[in-house]
Amino acid sequence: MIRPFLCYAVVLVLVVDLSHGQVFGKGKCPTVTVQDNFDLQKYLGDWYEILRFYVGFEDNSKCTVANYQLKDDGHIRVDNKCISLDGDGKLIEAIGDGYVPDKTEPAKLQVKFGKDIPYGNYWILDTDYKNYTLIYSCKDVLDLTHVEFCWILSRERTLAAQTKEMLYQKLSAFGIKTENFLKTQQTDC
């Protein structure tokens, strides 16, 4: 009798943990490849969010920008800012911590926002460091479903249509549904 309860409790905890990410898929996470020879130093600095999968914590916001800086301890300071669209137009900021757990795979970072929140995958699938980056994160839930996060960022507040199309093709080849993308407003910032 306790075992079924325990299974339901585990599922409930996982669903609550994943409730901020609303893009679910069937089965396990797709197999993806990350950027070869990733250079963190070239990646640091400002990146503007162009497209993203739905995540609750980015509801009703615009002008989202992420800044990455190397800290003295080798970790990465992740500073995300956006402007609230809830009438007051206030600046919202979230400071996170990132690191590379395996130096042989430097494009597979772990990032978290909050002391009691676990680290999550932040994998750079593709970047040219000067114009665009494609970030992906996925978490399996009991081998039945998975929850995905995906972002396309740019060094500018816009990104060329052909670059977006190239990144869409890369994602489609991995089996990731590009129709889940939402456009981030980057005007009147």
Section 160-166 average pLDDT: 97
Helix residue ranges per DSSP H, the chain: 2-18, 40-43, 161-174
91's tokens: 């600046």
Check if the beta carbon of residue 65 is closer than 8 Å to that of residue 84. Answer: no
Distance CA 29, CA 130 (A): 29
Looking at residue 89, what DSSP letter applies?
-
Q: Model pTM?
A: 0.84
pLDDT tens per residue across span 93-133:
999 999 999 999 999 999 999 989 999 999 999 999 999 99
Q: Is residue 34 part of a domain?
A: yes
**Residue 23 — very low, low, confident or very high, per pLDDT cuts 50/70/90?**
low
Q: Is residue 159 part of a domain?
A: yes
Distance CA 15, CA 12 (A): 5
Q: Is residue 43 part of a domain?
A: yes
Q: Is residue 41 part of a domain?
A: yes
- Residue 9 clears pLDDT 60, i.e. is over it: no
Altogether, the residues listed in the chain come to a count of: 189
Distance CA 124, CA 133 (A): 7
Q: Is residue 137 part of a domain?
A: yes
Kind of pairing, strands 108-112 and 120-127? antiparallel
CATH number of the domain residue 53 falls in: 2.40.128.20
Check if the beta carbon of residue 49 is closer than 8 Å to that of residue 66. Answer: yes
Distance CA 158, CA 72 (A): 32
Please classify residue 5 by burial: count the beta carbons closer than 10 Å to its beta carbon, then call 0-12 exposed, 13-18 middle and 19+ buried: exposed
Torsions phi, psi of 171, nearest 5? -65, -45
80's tokens: 């995300």
Per the structure, the count of domains in the chain is 1
State the chain's mean pLDDT as an integer: 86
Q: Is residue 136 part of a domain?
A: yes
**Residue 10 — very low, low, confident or very high, per pLDDT cuts 50/70/90?**
very low
- Residue 5 clears pLDDT 90, i.e. is over it: no
User: Whole domain around residue 33: which residue ranges?
Assistant: 2-183
pLDDT tens per residue across span 57-98:
677 889 999 999 999 999 999 999 999 988 788 999 999 999
Instruction: Tell me what pLDDT residue 22 has.
Output: 56
Q: How far is CA 28 from the centre of its chain?
A: 18
Q: Is residue 188 part of a domain?
A: no
- Residue 166 clears pLDDT 70, i.e. is over it: yes
Instruction: Tell me what pLDDT residue 13 has.
Output: 35
Q: Is residue 130 part of a domain?
A: yes
